[in-house]
Amino acid sequence: MLAGLTAGAIAAIIATLASLPLHSPVDSAFNSATVAVACLVLGLIAGALWTRMGERPVMVFGALGALFVVVVIVAFVGNSLLDRFLSFVLPLAAIAFVICALLTPLLSSYFSKSDLGWKSWGPATVAVVAALVVGFALITQGDAESGELALPPPPTAAPATAVPPTMAPTRTVAPTAAPTAAATRPAATQQSVAPTNTLAPAPTDEPTPAPTAASAMSGEAGQSFVIGEGSEITFTVEEELGRSPIRFDAVISSTGLSGTANLDGQPSVVTLDLHSLSSDQQYRDRYIQSRMFPDTPEAIVTVDQLPDLPQSFFDGETTNGQLDGSLQIGDTVTPLVFDVEARHDGDVINVLGRTTFTWEQLGLAKPTARSVVYLADEVRVQVLLVGRGAP
């Protein structure tokens, strides 16, 4: 038994490391920890078979081979329910079965020595502990998609600092015109100087940058921003699959967002392409498109009017607050309240909104599937809008 357990521990370490580049079908159920535990269980089975079959390698190999065939069949069946189930399970199972089949007979000659006594537990214990440590230490190295979004980092240079230099060189053009006039007509120098003084009112441009700080809300608020590249939305809902005691977050996301954000009091409208929603499971994506929204390709989020924005927002600082909006899918309009973070980066605005809703609020029946035994009522939404100044 100790020989099989030690072989399973060695297989656990190797298979756990081999699992890292593989794409897990469900990260909370198929991860480095579950791989390590499964290999240890297989090692116990290999040790028990070795003992029960009178330490005959051919019979043990045959029994483990038959068990491997069962695992392969389960992997093929599971792949019809979960994408990447086969590509994840099959190579790891092959590694574990080969190592356990080869090492169990070899290690049994060591553990069968009568003079070892209780000392034979030492290597087995160390191997098992090492396997569990590796398995659970790497459990966070999963590849599951997260529904968490964040504002992009602010630009390194403030956009406003680039404006004054472009205006300053344009004013140097006036002096260059004055000398040429003076050189051609000396008597008219006095006359030509006078017009240059009359251009002094042109500093009417100069007070405008100063009041821009004070009147940024009125000056900038007249802008419209086109929502496009860089925008993303995620929907996160807790889910449990059949024969799995673990609940995990299913994340559906899309970059198919378009629309306009208006800072002048006009409604801001964002359209989501529902048929562009995708997750890490094709069966879920097909369900969304063909069962949930077969005839409703778009959802529309509307914010009727933005509240008064503080000056700090136009200065590039992150502003927090709440927005009242609505979500329309088909003929159903659902009021929503968004917790918002927003930042104005010159000709670009970044807005991050968070909210929740239930299936009942949307007028939708809770989705059902053969492989899903639990689906939470609440859906968590995060949306990142990146808008660029309309031309």
CATH number assigned to the domain comprising residue 369 = 2.40.128.110
Q: Which of 85, 102, 137 is at the close of a domain?
A: 137
SS3 for 121-156 is HHHHHHHHHHHHHHHHHCCCCCCCCCCCCCCCCCCC
Look at residue 78 in the predicted model and tell me its pLDDT: 83
- Is residue 368 pLDDT above 80, yes or no? yes
Give the Cα separation of 257 and 351 in Å (integer): 13
- How many angstroms separate the CA atoms of 353 and 326, rounded? 13
Statement: residue 175 has pLDDT above 80: no
Q: Above 80 in pLDDT, residue 100?
A: yes
Residue 251 falls within a domain, yes or no?
A: yes
CA dihedral 131, 5, 123, 11 (to 10 degrees): -40
Last residue of a domain, one of 137, 154, 186: 137
Model confidence pLDDT, tens digit, residues 261-279: 998 888 999 999 999 999 8
Question: Quick one: 121 and 234 in the same domain?
Answer: no
Averaged pLDDT, 113-131: 76
What is the percent of the chain with per-residue pLDDT over 70, rounded to a whole number? Answer: 78
Q: What is the mean pLDDT of residues 226-251?
A: 85
Predicted local confidence at residue 117, as pLDDT: 57
pLDDT in tens, 312-348: 998 899 999 999 999 999 889 999 999 999 999 988 9
Region for residue 98 given its phi and psi (left: phi exceeds 0; alpha: psi -120 to 50; beta: otherwise): alpha
User: Could you tell me the pLDDT band of residue 370, with boundaries at 50, 70 and 90?
Assistant: confident
Residues 113 and 238 in one domain: no
Cα separation, 25 vs 220, in Å, equals 48
Do 226 and 338 share a domain, yes or no? yes
Q: What is the pLDDT of residue 210?
A: 38
Same-domain status, 121 and 267 = no
H or E segment at 59? helix 57-79
In a domain, residue 61? The reply is yes
- Please tell me the distance from the alpha carbon of residue 93 to that of residue 98, in angstroms, as a whole number: 8
Q: Check pLDDT > 60 for residue 228.
A: yes
**pLDDT, tens digit, 9 for 90 and up, residues 189-221:** 333 333 433 334 444 444 444 333 333 333 344
Q: Is 131 left (phi over 0), alpha (psi -120 to 50) or beta?
A: alpha
Considering the domain boundaries, does residue 295 fall inside one?
A: yes
Do 124 and 234 lie in one domain? The reply is: no
pLDDT over 90, % of the chain: 43
Whether 381 is covered by a domain: the verdict is: yes
Among the three residues 106, 137, 168, which one is the final residue of a domain in this structure?
137
Confidence at residue 57, expressed as pLDDT on a 0 to 100 scale = 86
Q: Are residues 105 and 230 part of one domain?
A: no
Write b or e for each residue in 271-307: b if 16 or more Cβ atoms lie within 10 A of its Cβ, otherwise e.
bbebbebbbbbebbbebbbeeebeeeeebebbbeebe
Same domain, yes or no, for 225 and 317? yes
Residue 184 or 297, more confident: 297
- Determine, yes or no, domain membership for 203: no
| pLDDT at residue 68 in the model | 95
162 part of a folded domain: no
Instruction: For residues 131 and 279, state if they share a domain.
Output: no
Structural domain span for residue 125? 2-137
Residues 29-82: pLDDT tens digits? 788 899 999 999 999 999 999 888 877 888 889 999 999 999 999 999 888 777
- 209 in any annotated domain: no
Total domain count, the chain:
2
Q: Looking at the structure, tell me whether residues 133 and 235 fall in a common domain.
A: no
- For the ranges 73-77, 291-295, 342-346, 369-373, the lowest mean pLDDT is seen at 369-373
Residue 284 confidence (pLDDT):
87
Q: Do the domain assignments include residue 190?
A: no
